[in-house]
């Protein structure tokens, strides 16, 4: 697996972490990757999502708010869904560390790529966990589940930030904070350190990607995250009403996300649950 974090317009590589040898110069590869993505944007009005090239599978994720391009390459026996989920964990972690609400990206990016060097150690940690997970099917599935749940939580916060009036937004955040406070005080959470790694920051949202499945009861963690998602969706439906909430879910492409990841969600026995969660009153 090789990973790039790039500034999309300039093609400058901020972070490059290789775990496979390439027979060509890394800078040439970076330039080619950026050019391919720019070409598809111009010609097809959207960037690359996944391609097969040079005997490898390539996945792209474009973060429009920061204009950053995240790319991962791995062997073809790694599914595009798995590779994208792992890359999205890296994307979310990078943005939380360097471009979150308290650390605006515009003031952080000043042309000095050395400041991102420590992020390679974080990728190393993720990569080590993923290699361990490949030896254990249930752990590998857990990483997929975490990636999916993190994306769904992000989409829910996008609903609040993008569609809810300011006054009502504060009420919703107050309720979410109170709900999360109750969650944090649960005995089961206090006794399980990995559950304590779930965090919530107003206007930023939930972060669950710090959970280490090798040190946790995976079934217990999944159950608690599902409960958090269920309660947040219930808060939205109560405060905004059922039909406006459905409209917001559609506009934030939540259902599109579920359908586009149907195969993976179905394999993980999550598709029906999530679809019902967002659709049923």
Element (H, E) at 117: none
Closest CA to 11 of 44, 38, 41, 43: 38
pLDDT of res. 198: 92
Q: Over 50: is that where the pLDDT of 42 sits? A: no
Name, in order, each residue with C-beta under 8 angstroms of 251's C-beta and a sequence gap of 6 or more.
162, 163
Beta partners for 71? 4, 60
* Rg for the chain, CA atoms, rounded: 19
Q: Over 80: is that where the pLDDT of 155 sits? A: yes
Q: Over 50: is that where the pLDDT of 43 sits? A: no
Question: Which of the two residues, 40 and 89, has the higher pLDDT score?
Answer: 89
pTM for this prediction: 0.52
In this prediction, residues 58-82 reach a mean pLDDT of 83
State the pLDDT confidence band at 38, using cuts at 50, 70 and 90.
Answer: low
Give CA–CA dist 10/88, Å, rounded: 22
State the pLDDT confidence band at 244, using cuts at 50, 70 and 90.
Answer: very high
Q: In this structure, are residues 50 and 84 in contact, taking their beta carbons and an 8 Å threshold?
A: yes
Q: In this structure, are residues 234 and 242 in contact, taking their beta carbons and an 8 Å threshold?
A: no
Going across the sheet that includes 56-63, the strands are 13-18, 2-7, 68-75, 56-63, 50-53
State the pLDDT confidence band at 160, using cuts at 50, 70 and 90.
Answer: very high
């Amino acid at each position: 697996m090789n990973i790039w974090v790039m500034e999309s317009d300039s093609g400058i590589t901020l972070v490059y972490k290789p775990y496979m040898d390439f027979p060509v110069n890394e800078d040439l590869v970076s330039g080619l990757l950026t050019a391919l993505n720019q070409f598809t944007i111009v010609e097809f009005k959207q960037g690359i999502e996944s391609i097969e090239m040079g005997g490898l599978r390539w996945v792209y994720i474009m973060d429009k708010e920061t204009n950053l391009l995240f790319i991962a390459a791995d062997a073809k026996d790694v599914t595009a869904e798995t590779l994208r989920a792992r890359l999205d964990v890296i994307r979310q972690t990078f943005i939380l560390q360097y471009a979150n609400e308290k650390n605006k990206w515009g003031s952080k990016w000043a042309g000095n790529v050395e400041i991102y060097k420590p992020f390679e150690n974080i990728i190393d940690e993720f990569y080590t966990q993923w290699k361990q997970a490949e030896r254990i099917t249930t752990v590998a599935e857990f990483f997929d589940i975490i990636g999916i749940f993190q994306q769904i939580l992000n989409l829910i916060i996008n609903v609040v930030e993008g569609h809810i009036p300011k006054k009502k937004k504060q009420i919703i955040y107050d309720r979410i904070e109170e709900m999360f406070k109750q969650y944090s005080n649960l005995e089961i959470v206090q006794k399980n350190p990995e559950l304590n790694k779930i965090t919530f920051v107003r206007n930023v949202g939930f972060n669950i990607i710090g959970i280490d499945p090798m040190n946790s009861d995976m079934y217990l963690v999944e159950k608690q995250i599902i409960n958090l998602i269920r309660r947040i969706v219930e808060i939205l439906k109560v405060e905004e009403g059922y039909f406006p909430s459905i409209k917001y879910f559609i506009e934030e492409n939540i259902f599109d996300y579920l359908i586009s990841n149907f195969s993976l969600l179905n394999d993980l026995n999550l598709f029906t649950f999530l679809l019902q969660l967002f659709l049923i009153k």
